Each structure stands twice: as structure tokens, then as C-alpha cells.
Amino acid sequence: MTPSSSTTGSYDTYVTHLECSETGERHEADVLQGLSRAGKPLLVRYDLGALAEGIDKRTLAARPPELWRYREFLPVRRAEHIVSLGEPMTPVIPLQRLQGRLGSAGLWFKDEGRLPTGSFKARGLCLAVSMASALGITRMAMPTNGNAGAAMAAYCSRAGIESYVFCPQDTPEINVREIARQGAKVFRVDGLINDCGRIVAEGREEMGWFDTSTLKEPYRIEGKKTMGLELAEQFAWELPDVIFYPTGGGTGLIGMVKAFDELEAIGWIGSARPRMVAVQAAGCAPIVKAFESGAEHAELWENAHTIAAGIRVPVAIGDFLILRGVRGSNGFAIAVEDEAIEAALVEVVECEGLLLCPEGAATYAAYKRALEEGKVHKEERVVLFNCATGLKYPLPPMERSLERHKPIDYATL
């Protein structure tokens, strides 16, 4: 007997073309594509009418609880092209004690730390590497603050694709080592993620690698889109009122908005949408600044710094898509200080037993701030995103020890 899985057999997909996210210009699917001819991210478009005929909620509900249950919504055309490390649906965990403390009507963490390589970057890279493999790519490269590089390295190893990864100098040691152990050629670069991005772009011709930078290829966003599909299904197709998302390059926020648009187009949800809240760190908040000034694009954030490395992104190529998603849903963008992030991390682990990553903790800090400022209301049902396991981050030292041959004074433990 073989275990049940969604990654065997052949099936239909409904991709029609790729579309420039700015000009709407059509680009061909099923050939190698990076940015659009206008230099903007490409979005995958589907024949949603046919998709609606091809799948129903009951069929979906009977499938194994994994990412590939949504295969009709994804671009991989043949099952044998799927590169999978077993991507589970991630739990939506009610925060009953914190909810009581804050007087909220509903508060959940969607815990993405359960995915392969311990972060939700696995969703995007699972799709990107599957498509790269299907299109015959043999070498991939990316700039990363850590988690994306680890995910790319792992999926590339599994697919037999060579990978090159470039990290800012101060990327946490554990992430750099994980990337190396997962099989990539990884380098520390004396700069920030945008400097690493330039190295990838400039080396493309000589090295013949595929630039897998955030939103510079069309498929990572389709992987991240599954967060929105999953959330909708887990909430019985009645979405929550507000989503707090820690925003770096913004793939997840853009992907969820795309998921909701597609679900509405096939009639699975109505027009009511969660308000999308982009959470950033006060030491790197280009999207918040652009949101507050009413700008359509963000400016480069100088001297970016925060303990939440995953959202330390001084410039995002999809900035206008993030801002559209936030404004279009009547949401907002909000920044929180590192001290608030740390306090939130401690509060959540002590009260709920969830060891978050700092980026995830930032969403809880932002929720509390937004409650105080009246930007969200206690009656609203709120989902926070934890994007990686807290085990990937430095933990405070533990100094206590016992000598087993000496008498133990239990009362002082």
C-alpha cells in the first residue's frame, strides 16, 4: 500500500497565460519568464470558468490535508513535475487565553512554522522549483534574509537543481548554516538584501542561473496563494474580518488577495474580504511610510535594521501590489518597535505555548497597538500569521544546572 497523496497521477490545470501586474499585457505561460516586458511582476492567470467546473468543495474536502489539494488552482501541469517535501496544511490555532486578556471576539495564529524547512517560504519555493524543474532549469539563484534560501536549497536538492544563495552579512548564523547543509552554495555579502539581489541580477548572464528573487518569477506567489485558499477552507469559506501579515517582499499578502479574488470569481466566497494589515518593523517600514503618505510606490528605506530579519526588506518590487491589497481591502499598514516585538514573543509563548518567530510576534504586537489606537475593534475576528518556527532563531541562554551527587534542595528550585 502507498500512503495517500495528491502528488501522483495526472490532472488538469487551468493556466491560460501570465499577465503583467502593472500594464495587464499578456505573456506566454509554459516558457521561461522572469519579469514582464515592463519590468514588473508577472501574475499567473487561469480559466476560472473551467476551474469552477473542474473542482468542487466536496471533492476538495476529501483530499489529504496538504498544499497539493489545491492543484487546480496551481500552475504545475503534470504530477511528475511536482517537487514536494510533504507540505502540510498548517493549523489555525485559537488564542483563547490572550483573547480573554484582550477582550477580543476571535483571535487566531496560523502557524506556518510547521512547513518543510520551518517557514512558509516552503510554499513559494515548492512551486517555483517545481515549475523550474518542469521548464528544464538546472541552476537557480536568489538573495535572501535566510528562510527563502533554505527553502530553495532544499527543494533544489530534491529536484537535482544547483542552487546559489546570497545573504546579507548579518543573516543569523543558523540560517546560513541551514542553507549550506541543504546543499546550496551560500555566500555572506557585506550589504543588505537589495545588494544581494543586484549580485544575482548581474551574474545571470555569466552563470546562466535563473533569478528566483521575490516576485521576479511568477510562481512563488502561486505557492503563497495557498495560504489564502487554506484559510478560506479552514474558516468554512467565511473569511475572518482582519488579517495581520508581517510584510517584507509582500508575496504572501499579494498571494492571499489573489486567492480571495479567484475564490470569489468561482463563486466559493462572497465579496466580503478581510481587511489586510501589512505589519513592518519600525527600523524598516517602507510600506508603512508609503501607505501613510498616500504614495503608490515605496521609497528605499535607508539603514534598515530589526531583529525580525524576514521583514527587513528596504525595497520591494511588488510595493504597489502590497499597497493595492491593503488599500483595496480597507486595511492599513503599521510599524512596531523591536522592543514590542520581543515583548510580544515572550507574552505569546508564556501564555499560549507557541514559540513564534520575531516576524510572527510582530503581528501580535501590531494587533495590540491597533486595538489601542482604535484601528481594529474587539468584535472583529482576527488572524495573525506566524511565518517560521521560533526554533530557527537565537534563544536566550539558560544558566541553571544541578549536580546530581550533591543533595538537592528542592524547595529552592
CA neighbours closer than 13 Å in the CB half-sphere of residue 403: 3
Angle between helices 251-265 and 319-328 (to 10 degrees): 50
Q: How many CB atoms lie within 10 A of CB 157?
A: 18
Q: Rounded to the nearest whole angstrom, what is the least distance from the CB of residue 145 to ligand PLP in the complex? A: 7
- The residue type at 247: T
User: Which letter, b or e, does each residue of 270-298 get, where b requires 16 or more Cβ atoms within 10 Å of its Cβ?
Assistant: eeebbbbbbbbbbbbbbbbebbeeeeeeb
Query: Is 130 near ligand PLP (CB under 6 A)?
Result: no
Stretch that binds ligand PLP, among 22-30, 168-176, 243-251, 337-345 (CB under 6 A): 243-251
Pairing of strands 275-281, 332-336: parallel
Instruction: Return the SS3 of 281.
Output: strand
**DSSP class of 10:** -
Pairing of strands 242-246, 42-46: unpaired
Residue 55 or 313 having the CB closest to ligand PLP: 313
Q: Rounded to the nearest whole angstrom, what is the least distance from the CB of residue 251 to ligand PLP in the complex? A: 4
Query: Is 110 near ligand PLP (CB under 6 A)?
Result: no
Residues 288, 293, 297, 301, CA torsion sign: negative
Query: What x-and-dash track marks residues 144-163 binding ligand PLP by CB under 6 A?
Result: ---xx---------------
Q: Minimal CB distance to ligand PLP: which residue?
A: 310
Query: Is 248 near ligand PLP (CB under 6 A)?
Result: yes
Number of residues that bind ligand PLP (CB under 6 A): 18
Q: Rounded to the nearest whole angstrom, what is the least distance from the CB of residue 33 to ligand PLP in the complex? A: 20
Stretch that binds ligand PLP, among 101-109, 126-134, 246-254, 341-349 (CB under 6 A): 246-254
Residue 352 or 359 having the CB closest to ligand PLP: 359
Which residues does 129 contact at the CB level (< 8 Å), separation at least 6?
83, 140, 152, 155, 156, 158, 159, 161
Q: Rounded to the nearest whole angstrom, what is the least distance from the CB of residue 358 to ligand PLP in the complex? A: 8
Phi-psi region of 210 (alpha: psi -120 to 50; beta: other; left: phi over 0): beta
Stretch that binds ligand PLP, among 87-95, 226-234, 245-253, 327-335 (CB under 6 A): 245-253
- The residue type at 47: D
**DSSP class of 69:** G
Stretch that binds ligand PLP, among 13-21, 52-60, 199-207, 250-258 (CB under 6 A): 250-258
Among 40, 69, 71, 121, binds ligand PLP (CB under 6 A): 121
Q: Rounded to the nearest whole angstrom, what is the least distance from the CB of residue 385 to ligand PLP in the complex? A: 8
Stretch that binds ligand PLP, among 92-100, 244-252, 260-268, 330-338 (CB under 6 A): 244-252
Residue 48 or 221 having the CB closest to ligand PLP: 221
Query: Is 119 near ligand PLP (CB under 6 A)?
Result: yes
Q: Rounded to the nearest whole angstrom, what is the least distance from the CB of residue 26 to ligand PLP in the complex? A: 26
Task: Report the first-to-last Cα separation within the chain, whole angstroms.
Answer: 51
Query: Is 215 near ligand PLP (CB under 6 A)?
Result: no
**Short-list 345, 351, 360, CA closest to 396:** 345
CA neighbours closer than 13 Å in the CB half-sphere of residue 149: 34
Residue 51 or 362 having the CB closest to ligand PLP: 362
Quote the CA–CA distance of 153 and 166 in Å, as a whole number.
12
Among 7, 104, 213, 247, binds ligand PLP (CB under 6 A): 247
Query: Is 310 near ligand PLP (CB under 6 A)?
Result: yes
Query: Is 6 near ligand PLP (CB under 6 A)?
Result: no
Query: Is 127 near ligand PLP (CB under 6 A)?
Result: no
Residues 168, 170, 175, 179, CA torsion sign: positive
Residue list 368-387, contact with ligand PLP (CB under 6 A): 387
Q: List residues binding ligand PLP (CB under 6 A).
A: 119, 121, 147-148, 214, 246-252, 310-311, 357, 359, 387-388
